[in-house]
Amino acid sequence: MKINLLSLTISAALLFTLRGDYSQYTIGDKVENFTLRNVDRRMVSLSDYDEAAGIIIVFTCLHCPYAEMYEDRIIQLHRKYAPKGYPVLAINPTSPRLFPEDNFEKMRARAQQKRYPFAYLQDSAQVVLARFAAARTPHVFLLDKSRIVRYMGAIDDNAENPRAVRQRYVENAIDALMRGERPYPDVTRAIGCPIRRPKPVPPVDSATASPRW
């Protein structure tokens, strides 16, 4: 009886550490470093921002009307807060397999056309996305100096009409952090375009496929 329980616990622990499928970040979690390709073709890491007071991570894309409506506001966020130590870091988590219109060259063209003042990274394999519950675009994760998630959710309370916005969630959250306070609300919900993950491709020939342990 005791041996069974022990081996069960060890197996469970092993499985947990080896499966590589970690839980998703939420408020209070520290975000691990990641590296993705920027539209200027260079690799950019989260650690490149170690000197910043915080980071405004924004998941966004090209094919979604919601993301389109927020594009200018994302640029404005960077212009307002980067000088205060809070730059925007945009990530496109779209799989070009599902949305060919969201490929790297189109991202480059858009960033150039709108003169994005921030890095715009491609996460086509959705590796970084997997750690963030960024279920839709656009979606913001505000990190503080220690890379801890302090706010996640919508940019403000009106996607369609910037002039009718009453609550600027992200701005309020950053202002709170600058005062040494806790953002409130620290989580908001929003409708946006769901981020789809391509279905895994099954092995062609089971005899030659790599063994799944």
C-alpha dist (Å) from residue 137 to 19, 50, 133, 173 = 28, 26, 11, 19
Nearest to 92 by CA among 54, 38, 23: 38
Among 84, 114, 145, 196, binds other proteins (CB under 8 A): 196
Residues forming a β-bridge with 43: 37
Tokens for 152, please give them: 């996640």
Q: x-or-dash pattern for other proteins, window 24-63, by CB under 8 A? A: ----------------------------------------
Tokens for 118, please give them: 């921030």
Q: By CB under 8 A, tell whether 96 contacts other proteins.
A: no
Q: By CB under 8 A, tell whether 157 contacts other proteins.
A: yes
Q: Decide if 3 contacts 9 (C-beta within 8 A).
A: no
The values of phi and psi at residue 90, to 5°, are: -95, 140
Q: Which of the ranges 13-21, 82-90, 105-113, 151-159 carries the binding residues for other proteins, by CB under 8 A? A: 151-159
The residue ranges of DSSP E strands in 74-143, in sequence order, are 88-92, 119-122, 136-137, 139-143
Q: By CB under 8 A, tell whether 85 contacts other proteins.
A: no
Q: By CB under 8 A, tell whether 65 contacts other proteins.
A: yes
Identify the helix (H) or strand (E) that includes residue 101.
Answer: none
Q: Which is nearer to other proteins, 143 or 193 (CB)?
A: 193
Among 76, 103, 158, 172, binds other proteins (CB under 8 A): 158
Size of the site for other proteins (CB under 8 A): 26
Q: By CB under 8 A, tell whether 183 contacts other proteins.
A: no
Q: Which of the ranges 34-42, 44-52, 117-125, 191-199 carries the binding residues for other proteins, by CB under 8 A? A: 191-199
Cα(21)–Cα(57) distance, integer angstroms: 21
Q: Which of the ranges 24-32, 80-88, 116-124, 189-197 carries the binding residues for other proteins, by CB under 8 A? A: 189-197
Q: By CB under 8 A, tell whether 192 contacts other proteins.
A: yes
Let me know how many helices (H) and strands (E) the chain has, helices first: 4, 9
Q: How far is CA 112 from the centre of its chain?
A: 21
Q: By CB under 8 A, tell whether 73 contacts other proteins.
A: no
Q: Which residues are near other proteins by CB under 8 A? A: 64-66, 69, 133, 135-136, 153-154, 157-161, 164, 166, 169, 185, 188-194, 196
